[in-house]
Amino acid sequence: MVQFLKFIKLNLKPLSYGWLLTFLSSFGQTYLISLYVIHITQAFDITEGTFGAIYAVCTVVSSMIMLSIGHTVDHIPVKKVSFFTILALAMCCILMGLSYHLAFVFLALIGLRLSGQGMLSHISFTILSKYYDKDRGKAISFSTLGFSIGEAILPIIIVSTIAYFDWRIAMIGSGILLLIYLIRLRFTDLSHFDQQLNSFKPSSKSLFKDFFEIIKDKRFLILMPTSFVLSFTATAVIFYQYVFVEQKGWSVTLYASFFTAYAITRLLFSLFGGLWVDRFTAKTLFRFYLIPIGLGLLAFAYINSIIGALIFLILMGITVGMSGTIKTSVLAEVYGIKKLGTIRSLFTMFMVLSTALGPLIIGQMIDMGLSIQIIMISLSLFVLLCILNAQRIKYVPRIKTQL
């Protein structure tokens, strides 16, 4: 840990920018948007189910758009890509706050999911992966702390703003704060991140060819399922967590307090994950990092006491904490860094897609009357299959050249 702190001190400027991008991505993340759901449904006189369907469609659309713009971080200066992404996020926040028709809500949600959850975290992980080689794990793990800090403070600020003013004011205020930050960005030197830029800008044809080459390669079928299953499972369970808690007969208040354990565990293993990636390589950790959440799902399924929920949250925190560093670092180790932006955009698209499908499919299972135990066991079996598939990565060589 002392070595980690020394690394942060020596590299604070580039690391802090990566952290800032993941922090700002919170404005497009599910956990923050969910705070507005009840107010949006009331304002537009729609059901939660209707909003959920709209949200899923917008998430899928944003994941598709990622394919056409994710490569920009490979050949366009970081400041320029960041500026337009944050500007888009700000304008979509303001658009949502000013929306008086569902069509504008639809457009705003696409923009929030694309620029927030999709592009900002994508830019952060890509530029740090390219800038650092030996210390890539520590750099990315520090960046992921932006998610944790966002989860810790932004919901309090947003909920308070909604309570004292209005949900529209909270949205518009978020957009204005982002616009104010763009003034600071204008005077920020990010040229050090542009050393790895490609001069070649891909055409639609070459981009499609790149994606086709990635998908047909065996490495994709090894790497993609683990990324998909984690986002699918974590999002679905968190989305319906209070439904499960009520069906189990657990105390909602006590369960909510257990989330502190999840937050602390995720924070700690975000740091440990970076240290372990640099020591053991992401390829090695990739084979095992899903095991905790798989065991956690079984605890949720079979333990009737609320202690089962605590065990699940802690174990999920371990996996989620390490995941950001491992998933990004393993792409750099397996594919190289020259086209990392293009490659990550494809994987990010599937990750974002999984966050839409998870709540949709698990919601259908709930509507079918399936028990919590069956749902959790089904998810754990899905995780197990992906863990077994991940073992094939040991036969994939570690390289530093482009695809």
More confident residue, 393 or 198: 393
* Percentage of the chain lying above the pLDDT 70 cut: 97
What mean pLDDT, rounded, does the chain reach? 87
- 17-21, 279-283, 331-335: range with highest mean pLDDT: 17-21
Determine which of 115-119, 230-234, 238-242, 277-281 has the lowest per-residue pLDDT on average.
238-242
The reply to whether the predicted model has a pTM over 0.85 is no
Would you state the pLDDT for residue 303?
92
Q: How many C-beta atoms lie closer than 10 Å to residue 326's C-beta?
A: 29
- 56-65, 67-76, 91-100, 133-142: range with highest mean pLDDT: 91-100
Would you state the pLDDT for residue 286?
94
Q: Which of 13, 272, 323 is nearest to 147 (CA)?
A: 323
**What is the secondary structure of 3-39 as a DSSP string?**
HHHHHHHHTHHHHHHHHHHHHHGGGGSHHHHGGGHHH
Region 351-365: what's the mean pLDDT? 83
Binned at pLDDT 50, 70 and 90, residue 402 comes out as very low
Residue 398, SS3? coil
- pLDDT surpassing 70 at residue 403: no
More confident residue, 171 or 201: 171
Say which residue the tokens 């066991």 belong to. Answer: 377
Would you state the pLDDT for residue 125?
87
- pLDDT surpassing 90 at residue 339: no
Binned at pLDDT 50, 70 and 90, residue 12 comes out as confident
Binned at pLDDT 50, 70 and 90, residue 223 comes out as very high
Q: Burial, 155: exposed, middle or buried (Cβ in 10 Å; 0-12, 13-18, 19+)?
A: middle
357-367 burial code (b ≥16 CB/10 A, e <16):
bbbbebbebbe
Would you state the pLDDT for residue 349?
83
* Percentage of the chain lying above the pLDDT 90 cut: 38
- 118-122, 200-204, 252-256, 387-391: range with highest mean pLDDT: 387-391
Rounded to whole angstroms, the Cα distance separating 35 from 168 reads 12
Residue 166, SS3? coil
Residue 81, SS3? helix
Would you state the pLDDT for residue 203?
65
169 to 92, 151, 182, 313, 316: CA distances (angstroms): 14, 20, 20, 33, 34
Number of H helices, E strands in the chain: 20, 0
Region 93-113: what's the mean pLDDT? 94
Q: Which of 210, 222, 232, 199 is nearest to 67 (CA)?
A: 210
How many whole angstroms from its chain centre is CA 380?
21
Amino acid at 81: V
Cβ atoms of 113 and 28 closer than 8 Å: yes
Extract the tokens encoding 175: 């957009």
Say which residue the tokens 């320029």 belong to. Answer: 80
Would you state the pLDDT for residue 366?
82
Region 260-276: what's the mean pLDDT? 86
- 89-103, 123-137, 315-329, 384-398: range with highest mean pLDDT: 89-103
Region 176-199: what's the mean pLDDT? 86
More confident residue, 337 or 80: 80
Rounded to whole angstroms, the Cα distance separating 309 from 40 reads 30
- pLDDT surpassing 70 at residue 192: yes
Rounded to whole angstroms, the Cα distance separating 145 from 313 reads 18
More confident residue, 356 or 157: 157
Region 262-271: what's the mean pLDDT? 86
Which helix (H) or strand (E) is 108 found in, with range? helix 102-111
Cβ atoms of 259 and 148 closer than 8 Å: no
Binned at pLDDT 50, 70 and 90, residue 202 comes out as low
Rounded to whole angstroms, the Cα distance separating 40 from 179 reads 23
Binned at pLDDT 50, 70 and 90, residue 222 comes out as very high
- pLDDT surpassing 70 at residue 213: yes
Region 82-96: what's the mean pLDDT? 96
Q: How many C-beta atoms lie closer than 10 Å to residue 66's C-beta?
A: 26
**What is the secondary structure of 188-208 as a DSSP string?**
---GGGGGG--SPPPPHHHHH
Region 100-112: what's the mean pLDDT? 94
Rounded to whole angstroms, the Cα distance separating 242 from 54 reads 21
- Domains, the chain: 1-192 (1.20.1250.20), 202-395 (1.20.1250.20)
